[in-house]
Structure 1
Amino acid sequence: MDWNRPPYRKSGDVEEGGSARPLYPMMVERPELRWAFVRKIYGILSIQMLLTIAISSIVVSVKPVSQFFVSSGGGLGLYIFLIFLPFLVMCPLYHYYQQHPINLILLGIFTVSISFVVGLTCAFTEGKVILESVILTAVVVVSLTLYTFWAAKRGHDFSFLAPFLFAAVMILLVFSIIQLFFPLGRISMMIYGGLASLIFCGYIIYDTDNLIKRYAYDEYIWAAVALYLDIINLFLSLLTLFRASDS
């Protein structure tokens, strides 16, 4: 699963702070302003993840829900619609991302549609594989987030990752298209899952670094979307890897 990544601007374009010492190098605003922004983003992200867990759990545990999507023509059409719905929501979300509460409503629709897709993916996967993917995703996300904050405080910058990550995602996209028309087997899926996991680990570092240094205060929706997609894509990549290795 891959999505267009929204742009960002430097935080200094919106807010300029006083004489307090910056929280991290390259910052110009007061520490309390940036910390308030960071807390806001992770608060929104936490709600998104809880909503995804709740919806996915319902889809997995209530068998008639998953059976409806795969056993009827209308269910299959709805499943395809849910796959493309996040792309459709991104357009109005880009236009209204500063207008409350429209931006939060669109963000909710975006999150719910992805949650259903994640739930349907898990519905046809063994519980052991799902549990392994969830645990490893949680450990990786927490570890990389703490590392990025630690590295950024010491002056490290990860903006150089942007062209490499973009090229890597393009390779994954081409690989997926080839796999769709010319299936290469279990080994190729393991390779795909492993490479995708590494790429989205890089994106977690890159987007967390942007959160610390570059996102403006009115771009909290984009910051939350970017980190949410990083985590979901990492989970789905690990799910692909473990499912292929377990088969």
Structure 2
Amino acid sequence: MKMDWDVSKPVSFASGDHRHLVQKVANRGGYSKLGQSYMASSEGRSQDTKESPYPKAREQASIYVVQISENDCPNETSTDSSNPFADPPVRRAFIVKVFTILSIQLLTTAAITSLFVLMKGLRTWVTVHPLFIYALFPAFFVVFIVLACCGDLHRQVPANYILLGFFTLLQGLLLGGVSVFYNAEEVLWATGATTVVTLSLTLFALQTKLDFTLLNGVLFVCIIVLMIFGIVLIVVRTLWLHVLYAALGTVLFSMYLVMDVQLMVGGNHHSTLNAEEYVFAALNIYLDIINLFLFILQLIAMGR
């Protein structure tokens, strides 16, 4: 008896791949051939036995290979290779790189700001020439837009480091220019408060099970409203409105800091960053800390 069908590919019983084999036999009349062969072999079985002690050796054996792999099991979960943080060493290396870049940015900004705060001649010059601050804004926003919007550029080395260094330099000059309008003691208090808040929120973002990355759209709407509120305060000069504005800004950028830290960490959060976007991650957290410092500085100055 010889069945006129074969198996040329591995069969997955979990996905039902074997069903087409049964259909193939039915289409070729496999069942009828099987019945005819059985009747014919029953009549001449004794004669075939006498002629040859091994009657089946004359027929070509049909060999069927069934391969069951681990991927065929429906309950088996495979690792998603598209996830940039699927490998823990890759995730740790990414986090270390982001914090290293962020530390260099903050140290550079603190050094530049200290020059403006401690040097009386520089403080006087900036106070007499306030256009210095406004002249920095166009370059600041151009570099910021390039870093934030050009995804291919902030992944290319060394262009991403050069742009980030230039942006950090501009931010330090702007922050130093703003700091000359406050007392040195107020700047020191704001620096200490910002450090404590940043460390506390970072630890909270790393430990909490709440997913703040889901609030990305809500926080964006809130920051647009806060910007409109700030424009209104240019005309309406009321102390309690300025206090409310600074308080809302502190709360908003505190939530942004938690969200950006969770974006950097990745894992089970709703949204994560690509493993090549370490410059973008450092930029986000750096801007959150700088804005936190500015709003806390306003609160301390108005409180005094």
Q: Shorter-chain TM-score: which interval?
A: 0.7 to 0.9
> Of 123, 134, 144, which residue of structure 2 is paired with 1:80?
134
Displacement, 1:78? 3.1
Structure 2 CA distance for partners of 1:157 and 1:98, relative to 1, 3 Å: same
Matched, 1:68 2:68: no
Report what 2:42 is aligned to: none
State the AA in 2 paired with 1:236. Answer: L
Identical counterparts, % of pairs:
31
Moved over 6 A (4+): none
* Aligned ranges 1:135-154 → 2 under 5 Å: 135-151=192-208
> Of 157, 166, 173, which residue of structure 2 is paired with 1:100?
157
Higher helix share: 1
Q: For 1:216 and 1:233, how far apart are their aligned partners in 2?
A: 25
Q: For 1:12 and 1:51, how far apart are their aligned partners in 2?
A: 37
Matched, 1:170 2:224: yes
Q: Is the contact between residue 186 and residue 245 of structure 1 (CA under 8 Å) also seen in structure 2?
A: no
Matched, 1:241 2:294: no
Q: Provide TM-score, normalisation by structure 2.
A: 0.67
> Of 202, 212, 218, which residue of structure 1 is paired with 2:265?
212
Q: For 2:138 and 2:167, how far apart are their aligned partners in 1?
A: 10
Q: For 1:91 and 1:199, how far apart are their aligned partners in 2?
A: 21
* Aligned ranges 1:122-141 → 2 under 5 Å: 122-141=179-198
SS of residue matched to 2:93: helix
Matched, 1:194 2:252: no
Q: For 2:303 and 2:122, how far apart are their aligned partners in 1?
A: 27
Listed one character per residue, the Cα deviations across residues 121-171 of structure 1 (whole Å, up to 9, x for unaligned) are 2222122322221111111111111111112xxx53222221221121111
State the AA in 1 paired with 2:94. Answer: F
Listed one character per residue, the Cα deviations across residues 32-56 of structure 1 (whole Å, up to 9, x for unaligned) are 1101100000000000000000000
* Aligned ranges 1:5-20 → 2 under 5 Å: 13=82, 15=84
State the AA in 2 paired with 1:125. Answer: Y
Structure 2 CA distance for partners of 1:127 and 1:13, relative to 1, 3 Å: same
Structure 2 CA distance for partners of 1:117 and 1:190, relative to 1, 3 Å: same
Q: For 2:279 and 2:251, how far apart are their aligned partners in 1?
A: 25
State the AA in 2 paired with 1:231. Answer: I
Q: Is the contact between residue 13 and residue 216 of structure 1 (CA under 8 Å) also seen in structure 2?
A: no
Displacement, 1:12? 6.2
SS of residue matched to 1:206: helix
Listed one character per residue, the Cα deviations across residues 8-65 of structure 1 (whole Å, up to 9, x for unaligned) are xxx96464xxxxxxxxxxx5x1211101100000000000000000000011112222
Cα root mean square deviation, aligned: 1.8
State the AA in 1 paired with 2:293. Answer: F
Structure index of larger Rg:
2
> Matched residue pairs, number?
217
Q: For 1:34 and 1:51, how far apart are their aligned partners in 2?
A: 26
Residue ranges of structure 1 left out of the alignment (5+ in a row): 1-10, 16-26
Q: For 1:244 and 1:65, how far apart are their aligned partners in 2?
A: 24
SS of residue matched to 2:276: helix
Report what 2:287 is aligned to: 229
Displacement, 1:190? 1.0
Q: Is the contact between residue 12 and residue 216 of structure 1 (CA under 8 Å) also seen in structure 2?
A: no
Q: For 1:46 and 1:239, how far apart are their aligned partners in 2?
A: 21
Q: For 1:81 and 1:225, how far apart are their aligned partners in 2?
A: 22
State the AA in 1 paired with 2:181. Answer: F
> Of 85, 94, 99, which residue of structure 2 is paired with 1:42?
99
Q: For 1:66 and 1:216, how far apart are their aligned partners in 2?
A: 42
Greater relative contact order (Cα < 8 A, sep 6+): 1
Residue ranges of structure 2 left out of the alignment (5+ in a row): 1-79, 267-271
Matched, 1:158 2:216: no
